[in-house]
Amino acid sequence: MRAFIFPGQGSQAVGMGKALADASPHAREVLQEVDEALGQSLSRLMAAGPAEELTLTENAQPAIMANAIATLRVLEREGGVRLAEKCDYVAGHSLGEYTALCAAGALDLTTTARLLRTRGQAMQEAAPVGEGAMAALLGCGLDTARAIAGAARDAIRLEGGGETVCTVANDNDPSQVVISGHRAAIERAIPLAKELGAKRAVLLPVSAPFHCALMQPAADVMENALLDADLRAPLVPVYCNIDAVPIATPGQIRVALVQQVTGMVRWRESVLAMVSAGVTEFVELGGKVLGPMVKRIAPDATVTSIVAIADIEVLAATL
């Protein structure tokens, strides 16, 4: 069995999608539709930068999606590969869940781009700049990360700082967990991390504390936005971030997309669940970020990352 998987924020880079668009009219069609949906030349920003503008959450989220869907569109139209025939499940990391839903036909491309623009803006505005932060804990698993987050909250409280948010945001793989919350608590967690069993802790260069309770205002915005979104049953089941189970109805999708704004990305559990369901092959479309995570979670799985035209040609020949 095979799963197609789609990367999340952090996989953006200036130049993304340019070679694909230069080589394929089908890729250009995707980028043009996203440009029209957003009323801006996102494709030009993707191709030429500047990097600091592309990295803005409201631009990075639709850009990453557009790049991945362009890759899939070329695979389908030029490689003759139909997702529903060659793929048993889809999944995406954080915003990649929107890409997965678009790939599986649950959302059209225009709607996906507009939802991600709304999501990016809402997440950026949910917490004042400087209030929140995120950190990657390396060389530790979920239980240790939870202990580190709890110790940081306790330390702030004992110092008279009151209650703070500090929680696991992304359970990426057995050796990489990300925490998110108030900056004071995250900064306190970094020196505590090594004492409590992590090899290293690194403050992440992000503009907001994603996937924690501080994002509740953004979850409220997305709940309203999704009420009006035209959602359909996906062609194949979608493993969702919030509970690592496959969803297949519009109602389930709406609930999952709202909850994932503040909830933990259960990527490690999602991969393990797909393996338990019989998946032996993972194909990452539009990036090379999730592949290494999957190999650390499921060493026996076959993992392929598809970015360039040459990658698409090789994959199409093997499917």
3-state helix, strand, coil in the chain (%, to 5): 55, 15, 30
Is 182 annotated as catalytic? no
Whole-number Å distance between alpha carbons of 12 and 98: 16
Instruction: Return the structure tokens found at 313.
Output: 């040609």
Amino acid at 19: A
Whole-number Å distance between alpha carbons of 87 and 35: 28
Distance from the Cα of residue 129 to its chain's centroid = 22
Residues 189, 197 contacting (CB under 8 angstroms): no
> Hey, is 130 helix, strand or coil?
coil
Would you say how long the chain is, in residues? Answer: 319
Q: Which of 24, 94, 270, 305 is catalytic?
A: 94
Q: Is 319 exposed, middle or buried (0-12, 13-18, 19+ CB in 10 A)?
A: middle
Which residue's entry shows tokens 């704004």?
A: 261
Is 211 annotated as catalytic? yes
Q: Which of 43, 180, 182, 211 is catalytic?
A: 211
Whole-number Å distance between alpha carbons of 38 and 227: 19
Whole-number Å distance between alpha carbons of 218 and 121: 8
* Burial per residue of 120-155, b for 16 or more beta-carbon CB atoms within 10 angstroms, e otherwise: bbbbbebbeeeebbbbbbebbbbebbbbbbebbbeb
Whole-number Å distance between alpha carbons of 56 and 61: 9
Instruction: Give catalytic residue positions.
Output: 94, 211
